[in-house]
Amino acid sequence: MADREAETRKGLFRLMPELEVTKISPLTGGMSSTMLLVEANGSQGPEKFVARFPSEYVRQIFDDPAAKEAQVLIAARQVGLPVPGVLGLADAEDGRFLILEFLPGEATAAPHDVSSFLSQVAVNLARIHQIPFDADRFSFLLGTREGFVAPRGEMNKDLNEPALVEAMLEHGEPERGRDVLRHGDFWPGNLLWQEGQLTGIVDWENALRGPALADLGISRLDIAWILGFEAMEEFTAKYFEANRISRQGLAYWDLRACLRPARNLGEWVGPYASLGRPDIDEEHLKQVLLRFGEEALRRYLG
């Protein structure tokens, strides 16, 4: 923590030398970054910022993940999405990091009003997918690879990974339709809430171009994990009410969503305690994932 604090202070001083930093504290979150909350006194009084350091894993995927996410956030803000403003990029020992506007609200996986929660999540995901895909504004985003390629390494038999992979290799990808702007990891940990209202969509390092249903499959699994299958179907219905696209191919993208945690499911447990769900453990994730995959496979082969 001490090194990240020092790097944050140094980066902020270069961007805004007039600031008086009063406190730096860790922010809980997912697995893709280390985040620090910075409290400071500025010319207009007390201010808050977020320093966002990409994880080592993310740095292995992208050459300069902080710069990429900055581009996405700037473009997303231009089209009216509730994302944090980018104040600047700063240098750290292992690469650059972001200095972001602090958005009010907290992420949760334990909503008080489940129906309102599902509606807002669905509408905001649909809103992202309905943004006119401006080639100039989002031209830097890579697209989803067409066709399925089997993951390398030993497959997880406990999560039925071999059967899912075999089916997708044999039957292939359905017609994917037009590319849209994808968040890439639209789950409750990346959504901020205040007094029951969604106030922010964060963590855009995985943004890309691709089928809307690919994002939807990811969100469906996450909703099933935290609220159950009935809530997942309610969320799905609300999504299609807000974004009237074809459901064809959803089973395939549900299967793709199953493969994301297949090799490291235990690591996915960590964030839930900070989201108000200490009851969610690896066994729960496993059982929901198995059922989700079995139902998706039946629909895919059906």
pTM higher than the cut 0.85: yes
- Topology of the domain comprising 114-301: Aminoglycoside 3'-phosphotransferase; Chain: A, domain 2 (3.90.1200)
Q: Which CATH class is domain 2-101?
A: alpha beta
For residues 187 and 222, the answer to whether their CB atoms sit within 8 Å is yes
Query: What's residue 143's pLDDT?
Result: 86
For residues 142 and 227, the answer to whether their CB atoms sit within 8 Å is no
Query: What's residue 135's pLDDT?
Result: 58
- Domain 2-101 shares a fold with domain 114-301: no
- Residue boundaries of the structural domains of the chain: 2-101, 114-301
Query: What's residue 146's pLDDT?
Result: 82
Query: What's residue 56's pLDDT?
Result: 86
Cα 288 to Cα 222, 252, 266, 283, distances in angstroms = 10, 17, 14, 9
Query: What's residue 60's pLDDT?
Result: 85
Residues 6+ apart with CB under 8 A from 151: 165, 259, 262, 263
Q: Residue 289 and residue 4: Cα distance in Å, rounded?
A: 35
Residue 234 has a CB neighbour count (10 Å cut-off) of 18
Query: What's residue 2's pLDDT?
Result: 54
| Alpha-carbon radius of gyration of the chain | 20
pLDDT in tens, the chain (302 residues): 459 999 999 999 999 999 999 999 998 766 778 999 999 998 777 899 999 999 888 888 888 999 999 999 999 999 999 999 999 999 999 899 999 999 999 999 999 999 999 999 999 999 999 987 665 688 888 888 888 999 999 999 999 999 999 999 999 999 988 889 999 999 999 999 999 999 999 999 999 999 999 999 999 999 999 999 999 999 999 999 999 999 999 999 999 999 999 999 999 999 999 999 999 999 999 999 999 999 999 999 98
